[in-house]
Amino acid sequence: MDRYLLSEMLLPFLGGVGAFTTLVMAVSSLFELVRLVVEAGLSISVALQVFLLRAPGIIVLTFPMAMLLATLLAYGRLSADSEITALRACGVSLYRLVVPAVLLSLLVTALTFLFNELVVPVSNRQAALTLNRALNRYPDFRRENILYQEFGEILTPEPDGSFSRRQGLTRQFYARSFDGQEMRGVIVLDVSNEALSQILLAQRGRWDPRENLWVFEEGTTYIVSPDGTYSNIATFSRQELRLSRAPLDLAQEVRSPEEMNIPELRRYIEVLASSGDLQRVRRLQVNLSQKYAIPFACLAFTLIGAPLGLRPQRTSSSLGLGLSVLIIFAYYVLLFVSQALGQIGTLGPEVAAWLPNFVCLGIGGALLYRANR
């Protein structure tokens, strides 16, 4: 019975992947590339290459949609041919009938997660690079006004000669320009010790990956006393400082969340968090949580599609496709709303990412319970 039910779902699943992929790619990618070919002079060969590189990211989005369509059509066909009635007459419960669909959805969930981690970020990144090079756009790194703020522990002198500690802004890094290798017009303000602040101005600065430190050239260091006077001024032709490489990461990382896997996105969030850009951190935390939550939409859609297909009435393929589109539309509307609420801080990142799944699971569980009565 399990093999039979799985075979009934396999063909609609593959057909759903093909149908939904064609639809989504036409809407989200094809129209844009055609416009670029006509208006920006993008060559057809490059447009085709970008179109194919974007395909994995779109295909993986259709897996949950295809699971919904597969369960609707498979169980709908079995119900219309009275095979569900025959199985129930043999003592098979509706809960047991849904088990193969749930197992298949978990397999597709794992496949979706692996695809999102191993294939989609690389293909999306390559598509963006290919398109930018063809259009003479190079947004691979931030070229001007790199500003990084570092927060940590500040030492405050006490009257008895001791130091108290508090949290706050400890260091500010600014570079006027960046060419991908070297920063120019660098200013480093260190206020981690209120008794003695330090200002470093350098014409050039670069990161040495072998020594894990910054190398500044042609600059001046100012030591500022608490009363605002300069207690020491020293010029240098080369100076090495063990500062965080986060300013370099901040300048180099301009990729979207779709171009990063979970470890890369988590590391970038840490860089932004230490810089104090909390609003952007909140948005990326929602994206990070969605990388875990969206694959489980396969299970949520399965638990909705199976009881709807089990209804004792005849359904056509066109009706199943139309019902799938309505459910998918409602899901993504809820996803966008919860994502927006998470980004503005109304909901936590995890709640915002998982809320659509929880709603679908609740509806699916209620439908299955009602169908089994």
CA 328 and chain centroid, separation: 20
Rounded to whole angstroms, the Cα distance separating 234 from 239 reads 11
- Supply the pLDDT for residue 144: 76
Rounded to whole angstroms, the Cα distance separating 302 from 74 reads 11
Strand runs (DSSP E) across 106-251, as ranges? 144-157, 163-178, 183-190, 197-208, 213-224, 230-241
Rounded to whole angstroms, the Cα distance separating 46 from 37 reads 9
> Which residue from 309, 354, 330 is spatially nearest to 72, judged by alpha carbons?
309
Q: Which residues contact 186 (CB under 8 A, 6 or more apart)?
A: 173, 174, 175, 176, 200, 201, 202, 203, 204, 205, 216, 219
The string of DSSP letters for 227-243 reads: TS-EEEEEEEEEEEE--
- Each residue's pLDDT, cut to its tens digit, for the chain (373 residues) gives 889 999 989 999 999 899 889 888 888 788 888 888 888 888 888 889 989 999 999 999 899 999 998 998 888 888 888 888 888 888 888 888 889 999 999 999 999 999 999 999 989 988 888 887 787 765 556 677 777 777 777 777 677 667 677 777 788 888 888 877 788 999 998 888 777 788 899 999 998 888 888 999 999 998 887 777 777 888 999 998 888 777 777 666 567 888 888 998 888 887 777 666 678 889 999 999 999 999 999 999 999 988 888 876 554 555 656 777 788 889 989 999 999 999 888 899 999 999 999 999 999 888 888 877 7
Query: pTM to 2 decimals?
Result: 0.72
- Supply the pLDDT for residue 140: 57
- Supply the pLDDT for residue 218: 93
Is 134 within 8 Å of 49 (Cβ atoms)? Answer: no
Is 213 within 8 Å of 194 (Cβ atoms)? Answer: no
Task: Using alpha carbons, list the distances in angstroms from residue 79 to 192, 256, 324.
Answer: 71, 45, 17
Tokens in use for 35? 């416009």
The string of DSSP letters for 23-60 reads: HHHIIIIIHHHHHHHHHS---HHHHHHHHHHHHHHHHH
Could you give the angle at which helices 120-134 and 94-118 cross, rounded to 10 degrees?
40
Rounded to whole angstroms, the Cα distance separating 251 from 267 reads 14
| Phi and psi based region of residue 161 (left: phi greater than 0; alpha: psi -120 to 50; beta: remaining) | left
